[in-house]
Amino acid sequence: MRLINFTVEIEDDDMVEFALRKWMDAHVSPKYVKTLKNADHIKDDPHYKKLRKAKKDANNNLDNYIDKTKL
């Protein structure tokens, strides 16, 4: 099995989000769905950028480890 992760941007409306989740449940059977917080107001903050880079580096390290240990 292969997991595919994607992000969809929709209008800020609970009913729109509910309709999307309902459609996804009916058509693609998602394993995990998460609503991301909007961080546009801090995207230029140096501390935020440092944290995002650390998270990206950690994810890359994890992906590399998984790739190296495949049977």
Instruction: Please calculate the CA angle 64-31-63 and round it to the nearest 5 degrees.
Output: 5
Contact 31, 3 (CB under 8 A): yes
Asked whether residue 47 falls in the same domain as residue 31, the answer is: no
pLDDT digits (tens, 9 = 90+) for 2-20: 888 889 999 999 999 999 9
Asked whether residue 14 falls in the same domain as residue 30, the answer is: yes
How many CA atoms within 13 Å lie on the side-chain side of 55?
Answer: 6
> How many whole angstroms separate alpha carbon 24 and alpha carbon 28?
5
Range of the structural domain that residue 58 is part of: 38-71
Asked whether residue 56 falls in the same domain as residue 45, the answer is: yes
pLDDT of residue 43: 92
Residue 26 counted as domain residue? yes
Residue 1 counted as domain residue? no
pLDDT digits (tens, 9 = 90+) for 37-61: 889 999 999 999 999 999 999 999 9
